Structures are given as structure tokens and as C-alpha cells.
Amino acid sequence: MTIDVDPVIFHLGPFAPGWYGVFVALGMAAGLTLALREARRKGLPVAEVGSIAFWVVAGALVGARALHVIDRWDLYADDPPRALAVWNGGLAILGAVLGGTLTGVALALRRRLPLLTISDAAAPGVILGQAIGRLACLFTGDAVGRATQGFGVTYLHAGAMVPQLGVAYEPVFLYEMAWDLLVLAALWWLRPRLRIDGTLFAAYLALYALGKFALTFRRVEVVWLAGLQEAQLLSLAALGLAAAWAWWARRQRRLAEAAIAAASASV
């Protein structure tokens, strides 16, 4: 597959919107629509959840860009203001997951909303948004793998982010998109079967992190520790968070059941 498309749609002075931003925005819109639909189905206050969602998206974008810039500081060291040009590509998806999760937790607790129920409502929408957003990399050459003689994507436009033009690279972003869609299918199947609030979100975190960890072996990025890249270390952190989230969800259920039993016994 050969891509010879300018990642930038048009130039208007310093403003240069790109195809990357278009697909990220489409992913966010689709994810928010599904999340609000699930919130309504669960009987949650949709207006409040929508208000939180706005800030969750902002937190996700900050986290995604920050981790990308940290991981690829070589691209921005000579021109730091370029780090703000999110629309040109360069978002670390695990940074988005962690940044969005922390923002959502803080706001839900502050507003005394049912955090675990909200997290389950959000999970399918989050992974749907990630799947659609991965198409953004098709236009920028971001998130590619090793050079290959087999099936790959070759970029010809000078604006592409690949190491070298005219060379075929493994389309790891397409592999990740496929994994995201599989995770979405799994969550949709689990959705009516998991009876403990919060466990669907824990399943999302665990499944996504496992796929991200494995697929990152197809990438060639900076090794941080023990032969692992940044995304793999963060995937391990996400797995730990998933386990802690599931434990907390089950504990909250046990506490609620104990409170109901105590109330019944006192009647």
C-alpha cells in the first residue's frame, strides 16, 4: 500500500489542520456518543456525565501528547513550540487512557457520582474511539513498525512521520485498530454478563493493555528498561491498574451487600 497524501489538509497562516486531527475528532465523537448512550441506559444523569466527559477528553489529550513528546523528545528538542501542534499527529494512546482515567476519577469523586457505574458506561465508547482514531496514523505515518519486504505501507510525501520515505513499514496501527475492535466485541459480549459495577472497565483496561504490550514488539522505539519500550512499561502499569480496579469494584459490592444484610437484620 502506497500513501502519497499531504497530512495537512490546508494552510492558513500558522493554522494547518491535518487529517490526523479529523480522525481523532471522529473517534472522540463516536466514543462520546456511545458512552452517553450507555450512561442513559444505566440510568445515570446524562447531563452530568456529559460535562465530565468534556474534561476527560481534555485530560486524555494532555496525557497523550505529553507522553508522546517525552518518548520522542528528539523530534522536538530543537523546536519546543512544535510540541503543541497536536493536529499534526503524535499522541501516545496509553497517555490518553491514563490521563482520561485520572481526570474522570477525580471529577466523579468530587461530584459524588457513581464512579464504577460511569466507568462501565464509558468503556465501550473509549475503545471504539481508539479504534477509529487509529486510522489517523494512516495519513501521517505515525505508529508504524519495522521495515518489511511483505505487506506494508510506503509513504512518499515529505510530511509523513516515517523514518525514511519510499520504504515499506509494517502497519502496526492497523494491527492495533483490529485489536481494538476485538476488545470492543468482547466488551459488548461481557456487558450484560458482568454484574459487578466497575468490572467491565477493568476488563477493558486489561484486554487493551495486553494487546498493546504484545503489538509494541512490532514497533522500533526507544528502549526504556529491561528491553521494554515506554508503551510496554505503561501497559504493565495499566494491567496493575486493571487488577486494582477489579479488586476495588468487588470490595465495594461486598460492602454494599453487607450493609443491606445488616439493615435487613435490624428490621
Amino acid code (one letter) for 179: W
- Res 14: pLDDT: 66
- Res 144: pLDDT: 83
d(CA 117, CA 125): 14
Weakest-pLDDT range from 26-30, 110-114, 141-145, 204-208: 141-145
CA distances from 149 to 32, 104, 223 (A): 39, 44, 24
Q: Quick check: 177 and 137 in contact, CB under 8 A?
A: no
Q: What percent of the chain has pLDDT over 70?
A: 90
The domain tally of the chain equals 1
With a cut of 60, say whether residue 43 has pLDDT above it. yes
Q: What is the DSSP letter of 8?
A: B
With a cut of 80, say whether residue 22 has pLDDT above it. yes
Cell numbers found for residue 19:
487529517
Cell numbers found for residue 34:
456511545
Tallying the residues shown for the chain, one arrives at: 267
Average pLDDT taken over every residue of the chain: 85
* Extended beta strands in 108-248, E state: 153-155, 168-169, 223-225, 228-229
Range 93-112 average pLDDT: 84
- Res 113: pLDDT: 87
- Res 141: pLDDT: 83
d(CA 62, CA 145): 25
Q: Quick check: 61 and 96 in contact, CB under 8 A?
A: yes
With a cut of 90, say whether residue 121 has pLDDT above it. yes
Cell numbers found for residue 99:
490521563
Range 159-180 average pLDDT: 89
Strands 2-3 and 153-155: parallel
Question: N- to C-terminal Cα distance for the chain?
Answer: 71
With a cut of 70, say whether residue 110 has pLDDT above it. yes
Buried b (16+ CB within 10 A) or exposed e, 98-118: bbbbebbeebbeeeebbbbbb
d(CA 267, CA 262): 9
Report angle CA 151, 155, 149 to the nearest 5 degrees: 30
Range of the domain at 164: 2-266
Range 127-142 average pLDDT: 88
The number of beta carbons lying within 10 Å of the beta carbon of residue 225 is 9
